[in-house]
Amino acid sequence: MTTTETSVVGVPAAAPTRLPFAKAINAGLQAALAADPKVLLMGEDIGRLGGVFRVTDGLQAEFGTTRVVDSPLAESGIVGTAIGLAMRGYRPVCEIQFDGFIFPAFDQITTQLAKMHYRSAGRVSLPVVIRVPFGGGIGAVEHHSESPEALFAHTAGLRVISPSSPADAYVMIQEAIASPDPVLFFEPKSRYWEKGDVALGSGPYGAGEVPKTSAADLTTLNRAVVVRPGTDLTLVAYGPTVATALKVAETAAAEGTSIEVVDLRTISPLDSATVVASVRRTGRCVVVHEAPAFYGVGAEVAAQVTEECFYQLEAPVQRVGGFHMPYPPAQLEHDYLPSLDRVLDAVDRALSY
Amino acid sequence: MTDTISASPVSEGTDGAAIPAGDPSADVFVRGADQDPGVVRLLAPDGTRTTDPAFDAYRRRVAHLDVAALRGLYRDMVITRRFDDEATSLQRQGELALFAQAKGQEAAQIGSGRALAAQDFVFPSYREHGVALTRGLDLPEILHLFRAQEHGGWDPADFNFHLYTLVIGSHSLHATGYAMGVQRDGLVGTGDPDKDTAVVAYFGDGATSQGDVSEALGFAAVNNAPVVFFCQNNQWAISVPTSTQSRVPIAERGPGFGVPSVRVDGNDVLASYAVTAEALERARSGGGPTLIEAITFRTGAHTTSDDPTRYRTRAEEQYWEDRDPIARLEALLRAEGGWDDAFATEVQAEADALGVRVRDFVHALAAPAAATMFDNVYATEHAVVTAERTWFTDYQASFDDADGSHR
């Protein structure tokens, strides 16, 4: 997106604009930077280069080096200084270059960022966003394809969200920035180049002002969404696997099976009400994510569905995810990732009961 | 460790000779580091003022401290130590879960703390009770944390004094980020002493081994952030000497990052004040960060869970007790006519009153209601916390009799 194009943000668009996923995030960041001088971007190579995926392209040129900050190559330092900036009243948005590079910052995120509000008895809030390009499927070398979201969802004090479409990405990044609580924002990097309709001018910063909305208005931080209605089975996904789930539903429809697809959008909190309402109607549930199934988000979904839908369930909840191993060499990732066929296989298993 | 106590030039540790890491017997820092002629000292251990012209610039920074001000510093240090002693006793009586003593480090803390301006912001570690005093925090408030009744205990914004940080070194980055925020607020180099703002991070010798401290030095340097890193090298990180953390004096780490560094006698309250005042002025005026290594000694244990007799000698403790910061300032006051019985009695009475107040405060601290543990996990409602709180409240209520009483 060029600066000229993003300058329309703030004026509700008459018609949706078609944007790639990465550009939609860029537009959301631009809207927040333009509306609130306290919003800052920090990260490695995000300034002149615009980030290795160009998500921050053009933003340093527009907002300057003190607001779009090329940081030293130290993830703990990025998050640790973001905490200090937030204490001083700023709203830092940190980019972790790749999922596998987040662990140097794991201590600052889980020990400091997540706990500050609690240990200060509510006196200190840290509105810090940590953007993480995550997931595989792009043929990358090691440490560039991981899905560590469950580690953060398991940490109280953090919100963990993941958009699946450009439209959601544009609004969700703004809601993350508007959140008084820290947010881990997992961006499905394999989807960065997928285009979709984006309603520029929507979202908390879309009107060009510092939002006055309360957190309860931040819908995508709290609510899952049914992205395709169906009656025979509920397929739960988030981030990169929502596209897979929609293809599965389409394929299954051709075979006469009606699948409802739920996009979680938020992993912490988990909108179990939406999932449960769906499964109570369909009686069957399959959960799919790229992260290893073992102790994964799907395990929590399965447990909650089992607790809440015991009498409606026609089959055990099926999980489809990565295997319990380090992310394999990319030449093998096609067999590691939950593919259309593997999800269909799980659907068949659920329907066989 | 040898029994002979002698001044050991720090260069002994840097000559490449085979000193087994972590072997206290070869330690060059534990004792005598304060004798390095490069260490800024304005008061000798006997309380006389030093005359080395190399420190004249620092001397000028304390020239305005008259007898009343010196008495104030003395009073601060005595009060801090009394708090320390009372809290330690309370832990021994089972009233506190833990306590981390500042004993022996009062000069480093009071000297640096009294150099701060109201608008400056402090990120302490967990034994900065003296600094807390200088920031206006009522010392008993610190004991919420050590009674395990709260994780914090005060509002950092009320005192420009952040909560204690127990994971060592983490807050050096928070201080640096906060200082980067001060820069963006335009509160550096304005020339207005009521506006220009500095940030101070306190940590110990052990924390300098944490990557976060190195990252903080790097981030602070490249951002020219108005932050002062105040390291109290108290010789021991629980049971291991400073030589286990570093083969060079800690202050030598700063220049590699482009951070000016200074070593100061941390048991000399005037020198601690002077070097901090200089570093704060550099930060506030736009000159960037400074690393201060204050050489001191914790005469108490690491915490009340520790037993220093297992790793250090009585001789070493005696060496440092002979350099006690409070006795040193008392000697100066006596020599310069600042001491009389009335003053001594007054300070003693104030310390006694604090002791009573600390005990009363702790005894009155009630355990929080159980359901409050669900408070403030998030600033906004989080469905999981809400659901679990509801479940827990109902669960607790299920034990109540119909008349509302608890079985």
pLDDT band at A10 (very low <50, low <70, confident <90, very high): very low
Lowest mean pLDDT among A94-98, A164-168, A172-176, B312-316: B312-316
Going by C-alpha positions, the residue among B223, B379, B354, B39 that lies closest to residue A179 is B379
> Quick check: pTM over 0.80?
yes
Quickly list H helices, A232-312.
Answer: 241-254, 272-282, 297-308
**Cα angle: B218, vertex B219, B220; to 5 degrees:** 90
Read off φ and ψ for residue B373, nearest 5 degrees: -65, -15
pLDDT band at B400 (very low <50, low <70, confident <90, very high): confident
One-letter amino acid identity for A245? A
pLDDT band at B406 (very low <50, low <70, confident <90, very high): low
Instruction: Give the whole-angstrom CA distance, residue A89 versus residue A77.
Output: 18
- Contact criterion met (CB < 8 Å) for A108 and B182: no
Residue A256 token pair = 């006469």
Q: Which residues of A touch B141 (CB under 8 A)?
A: none
Read off the pLDDT of residues A173-192 as tens digits, 9 standing for 90 and up.
999 999 999 999 999 999 99
**Cα angle: B367, vertex B373, B375; to 5 degrees:** 120
Q: DSSP characters for B293-360?
A: EEE---SS-SSTT--GGGTS-HHHHHHHHTT-HHHHHHHHHHHTT---HHHHHHHHHHHHHHHHHHHH
Measured in whole angstroms, the distance separating CA B292 from the mean position of its chain's CA atoms is 12
* A144 in catalytic set: yes
Say whether pLDDT at B404 is over 70.
Answer: no
The distance of B389 to chain A (nearest Cα, Å) reads 14
* Residue among A41, A44, A87 with most chain B CBs within 10 A, to mutate: A87
Higher-pLDDT residue of B29, B260: B260
Peptide bond into A72 cis (omega under 30): no
ipTM of the complex: 0.94
Residue B363 token pair = 């005894």
**Cα angle: A122, vertex A127, A132; to 5 degrees:** 135
CATH topology of domain A225-351: Rossmann fold (3.40.50)
Say whether pLDDT at B166 is over 90.
Answer: yes
- Contact criterion met (CB < 8 Å) for A119 and B181: no
The chain-wide mean pLDDT, for chain A, equals 94
* Residue among A83, A88, A94, A183 with most chain B CBs within 10 A, to mutate: A88
The class level of CATH for A8-221 reads: alpha beta
Read off the pLDDT of residues A205-244 as tens digits, 9 standing for 90 and up.
999 999 876 666 788 899 999 999 999 999 999 999 999 9
Read off the pLDDT of residues A238-268 as tens digits, 9 standing for 90 and up.
999 999 999 999 999 999 999 999 999 999 9
Instruction: Give the whole-angstrom CA distance, residue B346 versus residue B220.
Output: 43
User: Which residues share a beta bridge with A92?
Assistant: A40
Read off φ and ψ for residue B254, nearest 5 degrees: -65, -50
Chain B stretch 148-177, residues whose beta carbon is closer than 8 A to a beta carbon of chain A: 150-152, 155-157, 162-163, 165, 167, 170, 172-177
Read off φ and ψ for residue A232, nearest 5 degrees: -95, -25
Instruction: Give the whole-angstrom CA distance, residue B383 versus residue B397.
Output: 21
Partner-chain residue, chosen from A72, A89, A215, that has the shortest CB–CB distance to B380: A215
Measured in whole angstroms, the distance separating CA B231 from the mean position of its chain's CA atoms is 8
The distance of B155 to chain A (nearest Cα, Å) reads 6
Run of H or E residues at A283 = none
| C-alpha dihedral sign at B333, B339, B344, B347 | negative
The class level of CATH for B33-364 reads: alpha beta
Tokens 């506030």 identify what position? B284
Q: Which residues of B touch A83 (CB under 8 A)?
A: 173-174, 177
* B81 in catalytic set: no
One-letter amino acid identity for B324? D
Alpha-carbon distance values, A256 to A226, A250, A286, B326 (Å): 20, 10, 17, 86
Q: DSSP characters for B187-205?
A: -SS-S-TTT---EEEEEET
The conformation of residue B101, written as its DSSP 8-state character, comes to: -
Question: Percentage of chain B surpassing pLDDT 70?
Answer: 90
Q: Which residues of A touch B152 (CB under 8 A)?
A: 119-121, 123
The conformation of residue A23, written as its DSSP 8-state character, comes to: H
Q: Which residue of B has its CA nearest to A83?
A: B174
Chain B stretch 108-147, residues whose beta carbon is closer than 8 A to a beta carbon of chain A: none
In chain A, CATH 3.40.50.920 sits at 225-351
The distance of A87 to chain B (nearest Cα, Å) reads 7
- Contact criterion met (CB < 8 Å) for A122 and B375: yes
Whether residue A45 contacts residue A51, with contact meaning beta carbons closer than 8 Å, is answered with yes
Going by C-alpha positions, the residue among A303, A324, A323, A328 that lies closest to residue A313 is A303
User: Which residues share a beta bridge with B123?
Assistant: B201
Residue B33 token pair = 């580091």
Run of H or E residues at B231 = strand B227-233
Instruction: Give the whole-angstrom CA distance, residue A275 versus residue A234.
Output: 8
Q: DSSP characters for B131-200?
A: HHHHTT--GGGGHHHHTTS-S--S-HHHHTBPPP--STTHHHHHHHHHHHHHHHTT-SS-S-TTT---EE
Q: By 3-state DSSP, what share of chain B in percent is helix, strand and coil, each rounded to 5? A: 50, 10, 40
Going by C-alpha positions, the residue among A117, A118, A109, A188 that lies closest to residue A155 is A109
Give me the catalytic one of A143, A144, A154, A289. A144
